[in-house]
Amino acid sequence: MPLLTVVHGDITEQDVDAIVNAANNRMRGGGGVDGAIHRAAGPGLLAECVERFPRGLATGDAGWTTGGDLPATWVIHTAGPNYSAGERDRTLLESCYRRALEVAGERGARTVAFPLISAGIYGWPIDDAIAVAVETVGDALAHAPTSVEEVRLVAFDQAKMRSIDALIRSRF
Ligand code: AR6
């Protein structure tokens, strides 16, 4: 079975085939990890988003661009549900992880890094955001045939990293 791991760090610095962006429906950049990815990838990323996503992206769906100046070859963009705005359907958050993994597989990515989708500006409660990430990715890797050999969950702070690590150890 492919590896599920956690690291503490900045997703823009991950040396992987694909990083996942916690984007939004408009797909024209934003704050949080989206802002960091656009800054690190360079202005070509926004131009590519405009070209590839003229009508944006539905919540729970995912699509790809190239990685521009990032170490990663691909950026897989997904639009998480905005919990703070009342979008609280857990299946939409699960769908973000599943669809992003599918798109990464279609690109032939072997290593993929994810942030905790919806867990920042969109306000998804952190313990549940971690549970959805670990359970959904673990499940998809166990059941869906894919080119992906390693999924790295990237925690922006040490406390989240420890919580994710504990859950991975207890579940797998
Ligand atoms: N590397 C890894 N994780 C990060 C980084 C980073 N460089 N920066 C933030 N995080 P958020 P959302 C963590 O707010 O909740 C944007 O404006 C952060 O600590 O980036 O899905 C988009 O355009 C948190 O745990 O995404 C949307 O409008 C996690 O990444 C909206 O925010 C997600 O936080 C999406 O909100």
**pLDDT tens digits, one per residue of 78-103:** 999 999 999 999 999 999 999 999 99
| DSSP track, the chain | --EEEEEES-GGG--SSEEEEEE-TT-S--SHHHHHHHHHH-THHHHHHHHH-TT---TT-EEEEE-TTSSSSEEEEEE---GGGT---HHHHHHHHHHHHHHHHHHT-SEEEE--TTSSTT---HHHHHHHHHHHHHHHHHHS--S--EEEEEESSHHHHHHHHHHHHHH-
Residue 32 contacts residue 22 (beta carbons within 8 Å) = yes
Q: Is the pLDDT of residue 172 over 90?
A: no
Share above pLDDT 70 across residues of the chain, in percent, rounded to a whole number: 100
List pLDDT tens digits, range 66-76. Answer: 999 999 999 99
Q: Rounded to an integer, what distance in angstroms lies between the CA atom of residue 97 and that of residue 91?
A: 10
> pLDDT tier at 41 (50, 70, 90 boundaries)?
very high
Q: Which residues 6+ apart lie within 8 Å of 44 measured at CB? A: 68, 69
User: Does ipTM come in above 0.90?
Assistant: yes
List pLDDT tens digits, range 109-135. Answer: 999 999 999 999 999 999 999 999 999
* Cα of 25 from ligand 1 centre, angstroms: 14
**pTM as predicted:** 0.98
Give ∠ CA 21-129-144 in degrees, rounded to 5: 70
Residues forming beta bridges with residue 153, ordered by sequence position: 6, 114
pLDDT of residue 84: 98
pLDDT of residue 144: 81
- For residue 111, the surrounding DSSP H or E stretch is strand 111-114
Average pLDDT, the chain: 97
pLDDT of residue 1: 72
Nearest-atom number in ligand 1 for the CA of 29 is: 23
Ligand 1 environment, Cβ below 6 A: 10-12, 22-24, 30-34, 36, 80, 115-122, 154, 156
> pLDDT tier at 146 (50, 70, 90 boundaries)?
confident
Q: Rounded to an integer, what distance in angstroms lies between the CA atom of residue 113 and that of residue 21?
A: 9
Tell me the average pLDDT across 15-29. Answer: 98
* Cα of 51 from ligand 1 centre, angstroms: 23
* Cα of 120 from ligand 1 centre, angstroms: 5
Q: Rounded to an integer, what distance in angstroms lies between the CA atom of residue 171 and that of residue 102?
A: 22
